[in-house]
Amino acid sequence: MNAAATIRAGVGGWTYEPWRNNFYPAGLPHHRELRYASERLTAVEVNGTFYSTFGPSTFAKWRDETPDGFMFCIKAHRSTTNRRELATAGEAIERFLQSGLAQLGAKLGPILWQFMPTKQFDAGDFGAFLALLPASLDGLPLRHVLDVRHPSFEDPAYLPLARRHGCVTVHTDSPKYPNIADPQAPFAYLRLMRSESERPTGYAPEALDGWVRGARAWRDGPPPRDAFVFFINGAKERAPAAAVEFLSRLRAAEAK
């Protein structure tokens, strides 16, 4: 196993009312929720950046409140992707990337570019958008993830185009969106959206074990590659429990 390849698991964000007195202990101050979550998970996908613009001081605060090795996967602002012509997104992309993301330093994980479910695949326009995504930011290497949600992206021309630009495609178990798998991707990015409220851990044990096996296969190679696993939707109140149980089962599998 390549020690540089890792598996990280987490949830979308850390501020969600049903997680209080559920994942978070009763009475935990809200300002301590990120620290608490980061001590039990290994990454979060930040959704707030899709709707709002945050400044450098906020990213620096997140960096300083979390342990070494923790990562923030940042969802790009919707102004970059929710547009008729993606090729015109250059200024919005620059504005988003320069908002202070570099303050996260080594804790900056992949950038998630999420497209509307109605956004159809147009090879020319989409390729022009991907050409706007830089390889680095203030000396930090960037990794770009594409969350495409329209069935037209199952076009055989899509994955080769994404690969040419060094971009990874989200894999999801959602019944609503295409389940695109790219075995040639340089890392795996999973958004798992089928947690069930009647299950305390969101997913059945055998389902979690299956995702653990898949993540370990990516990490161990060949070639060794990182895997990011996020429990995002479905019964969202169960997402932290699912992520914690995933990490527990991962540790147990590693100990065998």
What are the residue ranges spanned by the domains of the chain?
7-189
Helix %, strand %, coil % of the chain (to 5): 40, 20, 40
> What pLDDT is attached to residue 218?
96
> Rounded to an integer, what distance in angstroms lies between the CA atom of residue 167 and that of residue 72?
18
pLDDT 10s digit of each residue in the chain, 256 long?
345 899 999 999 999 999 998 999 999 999 999 999 999 999 999 999 999 999 999 999 999 999 999 999 999 999 999 999 999 999 999 999 999 999 999 999 999 999 999 999 999 999 999 999 999 999 999 999 999 999 999 999 999 999 999 999 999 999 999 999 999 999 999 999 999 999 999 999 999 999 999 999 999 999 999 999 999 988 999 999 999 999 999 999 999 8
Superfamily of domain 7-189: Protein of unknown function UPF0759 (3.20.20.410)
208, amino acid identity: L
pLDDT, residue 2, reads 42
> Which 8-state DSSP code applies to residue 77?
P
Q: Which residues contact 162 (CB under 8 A, 6 or more apart)?
A: 130, 146, 168, 169, 182
C-alpha R_g of the chain: 18
Q: What is the pLDDT of residue 4?
A: 86
Question: Who's near 139: CB < 8 A, 6+ residues apart?
Answer: 102
E strand map for the chain: 7-12, 43-46, 71-75, 108-114, 136-137, 140-141, 144-147, 167-169, 171-172, 188-192, 227-231
In 3D, which of 49, 121, 129, 12 has the Cα closest to residue 81? 129
What CA–CA distances, in Å, run from 139 to 105, 142, 161, 177, 216? 10, 9, 25, 35, 30
CB atoms within 10 A of CB 195: 23
Give dist(CA 67, CA 46) in Å, integer. 17
CA distance 138 to 142: 10
Q: Quick one: 208 exposed, middle or buried, by C-beta within 10 A (0-12, 13-18, 19+)?
A: buried
Sequence letter at residue 192: L
